Amino acid sequence: MTDLSVANTVARQMFDVESVRKDFPILSQTVHGKPLVYLDNGASSQKPTAVLDAMDRYYREMHSNVHRGAHTLGDRATAAFEGARETVREFLNARSTREIIWTRGTTEAINLIANGLAGKLKAGDEILVSFMEHHANIVPWQMLAERTGAKVIPVQVTPQGELDMDSFDSLLGENTRILALTHVSNVLGTVNPVQQLVAKARKFDVITVIDGAQAVPHYQPDMQALDCDFYMFSAHKLFGPTGIGALYGRESMLEAMPPYQGGGEMIERVSFERTTWNTLPYKFEAGTPAIAEAVGLGAAIDYLNRFDRAAMERAEQELLARSNALVETVPGMELIGTAANKVPVISFKIAGLHPSDIGTLLDQQGIAIRTGHHCAMPLMDFYGVPGTARASFAFYNTLDEVEQLFTALRKIQRLFA
Amino acid sequence: MTAALETFINNPLGKSVTIKDVIEDFEFLDDWEERYAYIIDMGKQLPDFPDDERREENYVHGCQSQVWLIHHVDDATGKLYLLIDSDAMIVRGLAAIILIALNGREPRELLTTDIDELFEQLDLFRHISPTRGNGLRAMVGKIRDIAAAQAA
Ligand SMILES: Cc1ncc(COP(=O)(O)O)c(C=O)c1O
């Protein structure tokens, strides 16, 4: 045995899906009398006990407002809250906690940036997005374009669901001011080569914004290696609570940006003559933040850090490989998105069946998937479908659940025959 | 329009097939597969929908699938006739059951029908959540709006 294979064995032992499932209380229930098979992780993932306990403990033992009270609870709350920020910084390998801004989630983070960059744009400037963006990474840019006279231009995708590099290269140019791209597509599962694309964009002095909402549940991105200007994600897809997310911003970019909202916490000094802004990251955090949720997000990352992420990734890739192999057992089933580099997400259609029929009949069998346009209407138009059915896996899903999905799909097909 | 008119008037749903039949049938179905097979089967009984009526103004919003609904009031009898179409099979089935309950009725009488109670009798809501984008609520809402406009 080589050293490497020993290391692998150890890693696999450290990631045992059956014991991991016990950490997620919601998974052990029945739906319509069948054991729940939760395959809608792309929309929102479930929470381990560690997250629930951390939030519960926060409210039982330390709650107070942060950065304010001259008392012990205030100090505890602030320590927990800022501790979570440090956890996120480490997770993203950002240089400083000044680069980590709390937001309500991915959507708010993108709106914050789009708003903050208004002063940098003029008529004729171009904002490059792609056909595989979530509406959250399209609409804020359209609103910005409306305000500034800039144009939003989409990069094409290939029929397999990869970014079309020729299209990217031909659209990136002197007029491009912003590149706003998803790291991982929520519909196709495609992992975009963001590091390479950011490097290309930086040659043209383009501001780079990477939507990490669908990436962080599967990978740990490294801000210093990626070298983008902005990156954001939502805690609720990362096994943490709803209502919070994080925005990474390059410090110099954040310094140069005006605040998003005004109010408490984000100011240094207020007077009717002149109000000055607080330092980073507080400049972008007006009002009392979602403290317990930040603590919950920190706990989610701590929980993930217990595992060997490489082993988790391998387990997830096995789920994807098994799914791909089973497609041919369902006549008329066709995957939408067959990129070489994918997270475990399958979007599909089945000849003669509407996605909503598939969703309803899977639910009857205890299987939760998402159907519809997935907030990516331009992509639906590109593929000429009204919507897709999407099964999106997390590390706590099992190969047996993959089998159950396909058994259920074959059953549905018989029902319609 | 005459072809469509005939389709309206000759639609068996709500005439020869009544909601009582459906309620009785449903009692004999004991698992989800049978119930949904039945619903899918009902969908196949929807009369053909005129192609040129698949227009924006006939579109029922609030469903995950595409749903169209048109109506016709028979001058002689004052009765309200409906046609529904969808690209999703289960929605078609639900539409058929709605038509069985509400088609070919006088608007005033239609408005007094408690459709929720009907569906409860069918035990349908226990199995099919009306909120899940299947358009049940949207279809019934639109029919009631049409009836209310006619009755006014
Ligand atoms: C790629 C992508 N971007 C952005 C979002 C928006 O995230 P949120 O609704 O948490 O703000 C999602 C959520 O579905 C997503 O998948």
Number of A–B residue contacts, CB under 8 Å: 45
Supply the ipTM of this predicted assembly: 0.87
The pLDDT of residue A6 is 45
From B65's Cα to the closest Cα of chain A, the distance in A is 7
Task: Decide if A261 contacts A288 (C-beta within 8 A).
Answer: no
User: Does residue B133 carry a pLDDT above 90?
Assistant: no
Distance, CA A256 to ligand 1 centroid (Å)?
Answer: 26
Distance, CA A46 to ligand 1 centroid (Å)?
Answer: 16
User: Does residue B26 carry a pLDDT above 90?
Assistant: no
Q: Is A357 on the interface with B (CB under 8 A)?
A: yes
Q: Is A72 on the interface with B (CB under 8 A)?
A: no
- Collect all residues with Cβ–Cβ distance below 8 Å to A417 and sequence separation of at least 6: none
In this structure, which residue's CA is closest to atom 14 in ligand 1?
A43
The pLDDT of residue B3 is 61
| CB A45 less than 6 A from any atom of ligand 1 | no
pLDDT tens string, chain A, 417 residues long: the values are 344 444 444 444 478 999 999 999 999 999 989 999 999 999 999 999 999 999 999 999 999 999 877 899 999 999 999 999 999 999 999 999 999 999 999 999 999 999 999 999 999 999 999 999 999 999 999 999 999 999 999 999 999 999 999 999 999 999 999 999 999 999 999 999 999 999 999 999 999 999 999 999 999 999 999 999 999 999 999 999 999 999 999 999 999 999 999 998 888 999 999 999 999 999 999 999 999 999 999 999 999 999 999 999 999 999 999 999 999 999 999 999 999 999 999 999 999 899 999 999 999 999 999 998 999 999 999 999 989 999 999 999 999 999 999 999 999 999 987
In 3D, which of A371, A404, A362 has the Cα closest to residue A390? A371
Domains of chain B: residue spans and CATH: 5-151 (3.90.1010.10)
The pLDDT of residue B129 is 58
In 3D, which of A240, A225, A135, A148 has the Cα closest to residue A180? A135
Q: Is the dihedral of CA A117, A123, A124, A128 positive or negative?
A: positive
Contact B90 A360 (CB under 8 A): yes
- Collect all residues with Cβ–Cβ distance below 8 Å to A371 and sequence separation of at least 6: A355, A356, A358, A359, A387, A388, A389, A390, B64
The beta-strand segments (E) located in A134-175 are 151-155
Contact B64 A411 (CB under 8 A): no
Query: Which B positions 95-124 lie with beta carbon below 8 A of chain A?
Result: none
Distance, CA A284 to ligand 1 centroid (Å)?
Answer: 20
Q: Is the dihedral of CA B27, B32, B38, B44 positive or negative?
A: positive
Q: Is A379 on the interface with B (CB under 8 A)?
A: no
The span from the CA of A405 to the CA of A222, in Å, is: 34
Domains of chain A: residue spans and CATH: 3-44+308-416 (3.90.1150.10), 52-304 (3.40.640.10)
Beta bridge partners of A267: A277
Task: Give residue-wise pLDDT tens across range A125-136.
Answer: 999 999 999 999
The pLDDT of residue B5 is 78
Q: Is the pTM of this model over 0.80?
A: yes
Interface probe, candidates A349, A357, A410, chain B, greatest B C-beta count within 10 A: A357
Q: Is B30 on the interface with A (CB under 8 A)?
A: no
Dihedral angle, C-alpha B106, B107, B112, B115, nearest 10 °: 100
User: Does residue B4 carry a pLDDT above 80?
Assistant: no
Q: How confident is the model at residue B93 (pLDDT cuts 50, 70, 90)?
A: very high
